[in-house]
Amino acid sequence: MVKALIVGTGGIGARHAANILALRPGAVLIGVRTEPTETTTRLGMKLVPDLAAGIGERPDFAVVALPPALHGKTAGTLLAARVPVYLEKPPAVRVADLESAAHAAESKGIVTMTGCVLRHMPGFQRLRDLVREEVLGPPIHARLSVGQWLPDWRPGRDYRDTYSAQRALGGGVLLDLIHEIDLARFLFGEFETVRAVACSSGTLEIDTEDTADILLCRSGLTVNVHLDYLDRARQREGRVILSGGTVSYDVMDGRVAAYSAETGRWREIAGKDDFSTRQALTDAMAHFIDCVSQRAPCEQPISDGLRSLALVEQARSGAGLLA
């Protein structure tokens, strides 16, 4: 029987807990929380008052879904206790918050995973295969963009009270929307230089940046990444220019289409079902639990997630957001 420690029982933590129950019926869920909520009661969580008590329950693994400012210390404590960790994005606020603990744990065979779930969407996996196999030639330039009106993110809750709106909790688009930075690495590999601008428009009355543009570069390839909390229409889309064609994707519409310069035609290579967030979260958790059971490394351990965070850290520094 699986025993899972849930550290952070809010929206995404509760969703992970529900997925664990669906994947492993009869799983024991232990939530770090002093008072029960409707969600913890519905999920049948046993509650413990703090992290030390949770570790004392000897869980098979832990899921950490807290404000980003708490990720590094919490995950580090769990890894020091040899507890496998599924860590929500971003893995920390700064790479140094978790780098030593992650590498030490992984070197001992402790299973870790970063929760960047775009990698688990078949639409992006097919796009990556097309790019990596150079079906339309090598990539030359790409534009990846995501935006959504922050007050729409968490219905029924004042967005100004969420971590996204608070610098001290690790909010701001550069950390909060790290998915697109990680997606750039997933699709194209590593980059050599990072340039960025970021600012707060004042529209939302928050103390974090609400828009950012990042330029990732390496020899022969530039990738522009746009992030914002402001788009009222909600979008996640992009375009990849290759030497022999173009590929475009639109997650909201659910499509990936490839244009071949040789044929002069577009063809669809992914559809709506290939961009299900619900399914991606389930698949990611299934992969993690399988790896824990088999004591095998995950496809994206925390150390890899920290490489995406390193790009974000460079972007934040370049934009003047790091002291």
Domain with CATH 3.40.50.720 in the chain: 3-117+281-299
User: Pairing between strand 193-199 and 211-218?
Assistant: antiparallel
Q: What does the block give as tokens for 232?
A: 């009222």
Residues above pLDDT 70, as percent of the chain? 100
For 293, residues 6+ apart whose C-beta sits below 8 A from its C-beta are none
Residues 96-114: pLDDT tens digits?
A: 999 999 999 999 999 999 9
Domain with CATH 3.30.360.10 in the chain: 122-275
Predicted structure pTM score: 0.96
Pick the CATH number of 3-117+281-299 from 3.40.50.720, 3.90.550.10, 2.60.40.4070, 3.40.50.300: 3.40.50.720
pLDDT band at residue 62 under the 50/70/90 scheme? very high
pLDDT (mean) for 86-99: 97
Domain 122-275 of CATH type 3.30.360.10: yes
In the predicted model, what is the mean pLDDT of the chain? 97
- Given a cut of 80, whether residue 179 has pLDDT beyond it is yes
Residues 203-254: pLDDT tens digits?
A: 999 999 999 999 999 999 999 999 999 999 999 999 999 999 999 999 999 9
CA 117/CA 24 separation, integer angstroms: 20
Q: Read off φ and ψ for residue 311, nearest 5 degrees.
A: -65, -40
For 182, residues 6+ apart whose C-beta sits below 8 A from its C-beta are 89, 114, 116, 118, 119, 305, 308
pLDDT band at residue 173 under the 50/70/90 scheme? very high
